[in-house]
Chains A and B, each alone.
Chain A
Amino acid sequence: MTKDIVITLVVVTALGFDFTNGFHDTGNAMATSIATGALGPRVAVAISGVLNLVGAFLSLAVAATIANGLVQTADVTVVVVFAGLVGGILWNLLTWFFGIPSSSSHALIGGVIGSTIAAAGGKAIKWHGLVSKVIIPAGLSPIIAIGVASIGTWLIFRISRKLSDGSRTHGFRIGQIGSASMVSLAHGTNDAQKTMGVITLALIANGSLPAGSKAPFWVILSCALAISIGTYTGGWRVIRTLGKGLVEIDPPQGMAAESSSAAIILLSTHFGYSLSTTHVATGSILGVGVGKKDADVRWNVAGRMAAAWLITLPCAAVVGAGCYALAHAIKGLPGVIVALVILIAIAAVVFIRARKNRVGHDNVNDEWTGTAAPEPEPAAA
């Protein structure tokens, strides 16, 4: 009975993470389309939400990649998964509050690694897998994205420089909608899978599913819905940073950025190379700034993001470890409930504070004044 309640709470927490993953990453697909006016903000998040839903059903190739090859699955208990999820959620909420597009995948991986270390020590982590599958790709993906997007931008501007303004704006806005839709779809195929993998892992650890099982249909459906509702909610703060904060974007640049992101994310999914959608999308947007001659890239904003990327894994790990220690100290169901209550309390505080200087669909495109993110402090659970 207690076991059933615990696994239920863990599944709910995982869906909560999936939700934050959705709204944290809306900007990856739609920030540029919203910034250039190719799509109205609310239409954009609606399209992105639906395509995330579709994408989550399209492919099940990357499910369970989070745990496989990163930790010794024998050491993973239901509480470890739970604590890892709490770490991921808290880090996502904090970075969203400060408008920083950080990687949701890294937040989740960091959280799970932290809680695993707290539970079973450093030997339970496959460090080689962590470096080769997570850290090195994270360093490479923005560079690849900057390269592809800047070359694309340069080509587009060379080819289209004789076009009349009206023709160019109109034409590339259509292209932008198409390419941004592809990024949304790619995001669904990629990120929704990760939560499916985590829930499946928890179910296996709980003994509800035999080892090596695939995600059951209800898991796929609920994850697809959670990420799509999250995306529709729209992480306007992150959208604003990506669309307005980094570079002033016009439609040809927007299309170049989204094409580059879509191509790289889909290819990495296809070749089983785990890239963060956020790192790719941010790199692409920087790239279109680099590729256009007179564009100003706000490197200080980019630098702040890069700093956040570096600390995402360790910070989420600290939160995950702290959460595990807490839940483990109290033991059993009460421990999980106490940790969950603390998570909900912190989330409530963040949301209430966010309402004071709200960013929504009506002011997301206002002039950038540099008021985005001060350096986020690591949270303590």
Chain B
Amino acid sequence: MNSWINLHALWQIVVIGLLAGAGLPALFAVGLRALDMPGSRVQTAGAGVDGTAPAESDQVYGGNPVGLVIGSVCFAIVLAAIGWGIYLIVASSS
């Protein structure tokens, strides 16, 4: 069976694939959610895609400093994971 299916590579692809392929976007969503936490700024919920919200950057930021910190940590982890992924490809070529 093992000569037909490379199980060793397969389970790693599935497990790490789940962590990176589903976990990272989920973490990104957590980051967005944290940024969106209600704070000093009044929400413009239901605003159009780019229309009525006051400014581009305000669209995703609810004005809560705690949310900003949590969100930044989430995005930093996502970026770090991407950087690590690219590093792995480059390193595996040599």
Query: Do chains A and B interact in one complex?
Result: yes
List residues of A whose CB falls within 8 A of some B CB.
Answer: 58-61, 128, 131-132, 136, 140, 144, 147-149, 151-152, 155-156, 159-160, 162-172, 175, 178-179, 182, 185-186, 189, 252, 255-256, 259-264, 266-273
Give 9 closest A-B pairs by Cβ, nearest first.
A263-B21, A152-B22, A59-B93, A263-B20, A271-B9, A260-B21, A155-B26, A159-B29, A164-B45
**Chain B minimum-CB-distance residue to A172:** B32
Asked whether A59 and B90 contact (CB < 8 A) given A170-B59, A255-B25, the answer is: yes
Tell whether, in the assembled complex, residue B86 and residue A132 are in contact, meaning their CB atoms are under 8 Å apart.
Answer: no
Please name all residues of chain B whose beta carbon is closer than 8 Å to the beta carbon of A151 when the two chains form the complex: 18, 22
Are A167 and B85 touching (Cβ within 8 A)? no
In the complex, the answer to whether A160 meets B47 with C-beta atoms within 8 Å is no
- Chain B residues positioned under 8 Å from A58 (CB to CB): 86, 89-90, 93
Q: Determine how close the nearest CB of chain A comes to the CB of B24; give it in whole angstroms.
A: 6
Q: Is the CB of A59 within 8 A of B5?
A: no
A361 to chain B, nearest CB (A): 21
The reply to whether B26 and A171 contact each other, CB–CB distance below 8 Å, is no
Separation in Å of the B61 CB from the closest CB of chain A?
8
A266 to B56 Cα, complex, angstroms: 33
Residue of A nearest to B48 (CB): A166
**Interface residue range, chain B:** 35 or more
**Which residue of A149, A167, A175 contacts B22 across the interface (Cβ within 8 Å)?**
A149
Q: How far is the CB of B57 from chain A (nearest CB, A)?
A: 10
Residues of B bordering A, CB below 8 Å: 3-6, 9-10, 12-14, 16-18, 20-26, 28-30, 32-33, 35-36, 43-50, 53, 56, 59-60, 82, 85-86, 88-90, 92-93
Of the candidates A159, A165, A169, A263, the one having the most CB atoms from chain B within 10 angstroms of its own CB is A263
Beta-carbon contact of B53 and A166 below 8 Å:
yes
* Further 12 A-B residue pairs, CB within 8 A, beyond A156-B28, A268-B9: A58-B86, A59-B92, A136-B5, A144-B17, A148-B22, A167-B59, A170-B60, A172-B32, A263-B17, A271-B6, A271-B9, A273-B13
